[in-house]
Structure 1
Amino acid sequence: MRVAVIDIGTNSTRLLVAEVRREKVERVIHFDLVTTRLGEGIGSGYLQARAITRTCETLKRYLECIRSLEVERTVAAATSAVRDARNRQDFLQAARRTGLEVTVLSGEEEAYLSYLGVRGGLEVDAKGLVVMDVGGGSTEFIWQQEDTLFCRSVKAGAVRMTEGGHDDAAISRLLSPTLARIRLSSPRHLVGVGGTVTTCAAMVQKLEVYDPGRVHGFVLSRADVENLVDILSRCTLEERRRLPGLQPERADIITAGVRIVRLVMLELGMPSLQVSEADIMYGLAIQAASGVEIKSAVIYQ
């Protein structure tokens, strides 16, 4: 089945059109990403009118693209920024006027769909696996303990931590309760998804042009991540914008994102992290093709 997925995140809005068969994304037809920064001013608890407007302009363009690609099913999902906003209905109504019905995912649903995407895109053993999705507004963790899949969402994302001026100690306080639970499951393999993690892989490889084939499956060592934190901390914003592998639009939030990654690796005692291009969008695509509504996904808490 050919499906279209629109992921409305805190930092970016993405479009994936893909062919899905037997719970696998077999072929990507089209992909697009726009840094819409819907979560601008996230600490206020409200979505700003200008952020809603620029995001909806991107949605209109995406819908035009979808109509031209003979898509059989379209799903759109919003994550942390919309989930936490007191005026979320303002955005949902604005999106509806573009012709799009948007589902707001809970943190646990977001986590589960990221896990589903990773399992459909990487050959990994579920035993001892931890999936981490570092987003703009939150970070999701998914892990298995005995026969139960646990999903947790923590309000520690690259945009939120940057705008809030959170230092390492503050970020650690947010992450520690969840990481303490994960340690009880004896984790052995950490997989990371989301823009922060894929950017880390691109920067370590100094990719002048982003190459998903070189990012997917790439293994980041803890030393790689420590080195990135050191480089980013010493650079001005303008210097960061010129670093190979780093999208200029992400330069203002990347340091906080990489610090989240480093703290997770340290607290879980993980010497490395495997990067996956297959993420929540793949999970949404797989679920859309199966005909199962997002809200009816089994979430283990």
Structure 2
Amino acid sequence: MSSRFGTVDIGSNSLRFLAVERASGLLCYLDSGIWTIRLGRGLRDGEYVIQEDVLSMGLQTVEEAWKRLDALNVPLNNRVIFATESLRSSSNAHEIADIVEKKTGLALRILDGRQEALYSYRGALLGMDVNDALVFDLGGGSLELCCKNFNVSLPLGAIRIKASFDEDTVAIKSHVRSKLREVLKEGSMMQVAEIIGVGGTSSTAAMILKGIPIKNYHPSKVHATRIEEKDIESLIEFLKQMDVETRRHLTGLEPGRADIIVSGLCVISAILEFFGADRYTHSECDLLWGVIADAVTKKYAVDVKGICWGVN
């Protein structure tokens, strides 16, 4: 019986895969990959249609990720393929799910917002030595917040915010705080002493702040990075002085994220301000890790103890 597991996440901005091996109760990192596909192009408020050209690129990338899992000898019955806000809000989601199933041999799971929040929470805590925390997962289409006391999914992803407010930092922060006030009590940490952030914007912030070139990326290099609120503000101002093309050449910034990085950072800034926090910890263990941990628990009827960054 193989102890290797893999998952593919079809997101609003990126498609990602993760492969791990279960060893001594831990999930040990094997490989991962990310491609910018911008499936959520046109995503603003309400329902939208995923366009044919974007879909074609996305499906090609699914095939590439599937080949990577094949090369790692991850068996089909140990794989999960899922989608989040990009398909939750798409009017042609079922059609796309059918195509993906034919290509991969697995049914595409479309996670609802609550499931996404819980998986992100599980993944984030798996990689950190804490019993509880407020975990935020900022993606392209949505923002999830989760702790022991609540979990919520809001339409505040970086692509959506960029489409609605461009890079108007004041308007973005005001809008995010307003949406948070609708579902949470402002300033209340709800007995949570730690904030953990996951998602592409947070990972990019860690990469830029640590000066790590994209070609040298490894999750262990940015996992558990402490990021100050003042550093987020400085990054916003620094990036706003550049046009998008200049940003594409910035160390640590994946070129396909150059147009949405400011909007994403503004969302993080608003979250920290809302909860009265001056810092948070970035985690590379996220939604994908949570989904795999769930699959492992279901298969072996045991909890996952933690993670490691390589197989001994």
Instruction: Please report the TM-score for the alignment, with normalisation by the length of structure 2.
Output: 0.86
**CA RMSD in angstroms, aligned pairs only:** 1.8
Matches within 5 A, 1:17-32: 17-21=19-23, 24-25=26-27, 27-32=28-33
Asked if the contact 2:8/2:18 (under 8 Å) is kept, the reply is yes
* The one of 45, 48, 54 aligned to 2:51: 48
Cα gap change, 1:203 to 1:179, in 2 (>3 Å): farther
Whichever residue aligns with residue 30 of structure 2, its letter is I
* The one of 132, 139, 142 aligned to 1:138: 142
How many angstroms apart in 1 are the aligned matches of 2:25 and 2:184? 29
Superposed CA offset, 1:58-106 (max 9, x none): 1112222222322231101100010111111121122123124210000
Partner secondary structure for residue 80 of structure 2: strand
Whichever residue aligns with residue 220 of structure 1, its letter is I
How many angstroms apart in 2 are the aligned matches of 1:117 and 1:22? 18
* Structure 2, gaps ≥5 residues long: 300-312
Q: Does 1:68 align with 2:75?
A: no
Partner secondary structure for residue 235 of structure 2: helix
Asked if the contact 2:186/2:274 (under 8 Å) is kept, the reply is no
Partner secondary structure for residue 192 of structure 2: coil
How many angstroms apart in 2 are the aligned matches of 1:76 and 1:182? 37
Superposed CA offset, 1:27-48 (max 9, x none): 2222111111111111361111
Between 27-36 and 276-285, the greater mean CA deviation after superposition: 27-36
How many angstroms apart in 2 are the aligned matches of 1:2 and 1:79? 24
Whichever residue aligns with residue 106 of structure 1, its letter is D
Superposed CA offset, 1:216-235 (max 9, x none): 00100111111011111221
Cα gap change, 1:241 to 1:287, in 2 (>3 Å): same
* The one of 212, 225, 232 aligned to 2:219: 212
Whichever residue aligns with residue 39 of structure 1, its letter is G
Matches within 5 A, 1:172-211: 172-180=177-185, 183=188, 185-208=190-213, 209-211=216-218
* Structure 1, gaps ≥5 residues long: 293-301
How many angstroms apart in 2 are the aligned matches of 1:214 and 1:30? 14
**What is the deviation of 1:23?**
6.1
Whichever residue aligns with residue 110 of structure 2, its letter is V
Q: Which residue of 1 aligns with 2:292?
A: 285
Q: Does 1:59 align with 2:62?
A: yes
How many angstroms apart in 2 are the aligned matches of 1:23 and 1:55? 34
Cα gap change, 1:186 to 1:290, in 2 (>3 Å): closer
How many angstroms apart in 1 are the aligned matches of 2:279 and 2:64? 38
Asked if the contact 2:187/2:276 (under 8 Å) is kept, the reply is no
Whichever residue aligns with residue 21 of structure 2, its letter is E
Q: Does 1:274 align with 2:276?
A: no
How many angstroms apart in 2 are the aligned matches of 1:244 and 1:60? 29
How many angstroms apart in 2 are the aligned matches of 1:10 and 1:280? 14
* The one of 11, 14, 17 aligned to 2:16: 14
Whichever residue aligns with residue 193 of structure 1, its letter is V
How many angstroms apart in 2 are the aligned matches of 1:132 and 1:182? 16
**What is the deviation of 1:213?**
2.1
Q: Which residue of 2 aligns with 1:79?
A: 84
**What is the deviation of 1:179?**
4.2
Instruction: Please report the TM-score for the alignment, with normalisation by the length of structure 1.
Output: 0.89
Whichever residue aligns with residue 19 of structure 2, its letter is V
